[in-house]
Amino acid sequence: MNTLTPILTPLTLPNGAVLKNRLVMAPMTTCTGFYDGTVTSELVEYYRARAGSIGTVIVECCFIDNRGPAFPGAIAIDSDNKIPGLKRIADAIKSEGSTAILQIYHGGRMVEPELIGGKTPVAPSAIAAPREGATKPLALTAE
Ligand SMILES: Cc1cc2nc3c(=O)[nH]c(=O)nc-3n(C[C@H](O)[C@H](O)[C@H](O)COP(=O)(O)O)c2cc1C
């Protein structure tokens, strides 16, 4: 039996989405977004160039709140004005026949204040990370 064969066959997910093969590009942060997390044209072309043979591309982690970026140049999904840029990435990946997935995150207490305009990071509890110089975050409320 050729054990490599399944890698190149389609896979249907429980929700009915069909991946054209089992090859997946892991999310890899490129730090190439604009200062506010907007997508750059270079990033769109980066994903277009990698889509095609790879069945599924997981786009690098994308912060969900303006106190959430964990890296300079991180891309954002923190407001509706980010949708057009993210759509350009999705369209580029899909135009090559691949499935596009977006990874989302919030950096929590690991966010550097300098990445969020000097504001205090937020986290589930007001407990600083156990590392030198870490900022004590504000505890999030249910609201
Ligand atoms: C430059 C770089 C950026 C990465 N960014 C992310 C990321 O945004 N999200 C994530 O979950 N993992 C990220 N990773 C981890 C990779 O997705 C992957 O899990 C890791 O490289 C191990 O995969 P490998 O065993 O195939 O090398 C990143 C890795 C690298 C090298």
**pTM > 0.85: yes or no:** yes
pLDDT digits (tens, 9 = 90+) for 6-23: 899 999 999 999 999 999
Question: Which residues does a 6 A CB cutoff place in the pocket of ligand 1?
Answer: 26-29, 60-61, 103
Whose C-alpha lies nearest to ligand 1, atom 29? 28
pLDDT digits (tens, 9 = 90+) for 28-76: 999 999 999 999 999 999 999 999 999 999 999 999 999 999 999 999 9
Contacts of 134-140 spanning 24+ positions with Cβ under 8 A: 134/109, 135/109, 137/108, 137/109
Q: How many CB atoms neighbour CB 136 within 10 A?
A: 14
| Residue in the block written with tokens 């093969």 | 21
pLDDT digits (tens, 9 = 90+) for 61-72: 999 999 999 999
For residue 5, pLDDT beyond 80: no
Distance 16 CA to ligand 1 centre (A): 27
Whose C-alpha lies nearest to ligand 1, atom 18? 26
Q: Work out the percent of the chain whose per-residue pLDDT is above 90.
A: 96
| First CA to last CA distance, the chain | 56
Amino acid at 38: T
Distance 93 CA to ligand 1 centre (A): 19
